[in-house]
Structure 1
Amino acid sequence: MLKLKVEGMSCNHCVMAVKKALLKVPGVERAEVSLEKGEAWVEGKAEVEALIRAVEEEGYKASPLA
């Protein structure tokens, strides 16, 4: 599982937009997003760069968490 820090989310609409964007990335099997923590968890074999790019295309900032 991969964790991303997601910045810029302020409501549940933001959460759904980020989740939908992550689920569209090839290799993603499951994605969960937490507004409270400002994080996303992704399961699958997607490239980190592709996940970050997908989130940024929705207008949010993303970075990998260790």
Structure 2
Amino acid sequence: METTTYPVTGMTCGHCVTSVTAEVSRIPGVTDVAVDLAGGTVTVSADRAIDRETVRAAVDEAGYELGGAS
């Protein structure tokens, strides 16, 4: 099991949490998504390693931006 936490910018409400959770959950191999609205992070658990760019694309599709180093 791989678990990684990523910073996400632009999330301000429950709708943001729902959107990010839905998009990231669609990534093959993802088993759990936990969004911390106050902390501005998303923690992704998967049964295999998930490429950061794949997570970035899902967060972007939800309308937000993955922060931190590439």
TM (norm. structure 2) is 0.84
Q: Select the residue among 32, 35, 39 that pairs with 1:33.
A: 35
Matched, 1:53 2:57: yes
- Would you identify which runs of 4 or more consecutive aligned residues in structure 1 move more than 4 Å? none
Q: Which has the larger radius of gyration?
A: 2
Query: Which residues of structure 2 form unaligned runs of 5+?
Result: none
Query: Which residues of structure 1 form unaligned runs of 5+?
Result: none
Count of residues in correspondence between the two structures: 65
> What is the percent sequence identity of the aligned residues?
32
Give the distance between the partners of 2:41 and 2:53, measured in 1 at CA: 16
TM (norm. structure 1) is 0.89
Give the distance between the partners of 2:52 and 2:28, measured in 1 at CA: 11
Please report how far the alpha carbon of residue 63 of structure 1 lies from its aligned counterpart in structure 2 after TM superposition: 3.3
Please give the root-mean-square deviation of Cα atoms over the aligned residues, in Å: 1.4
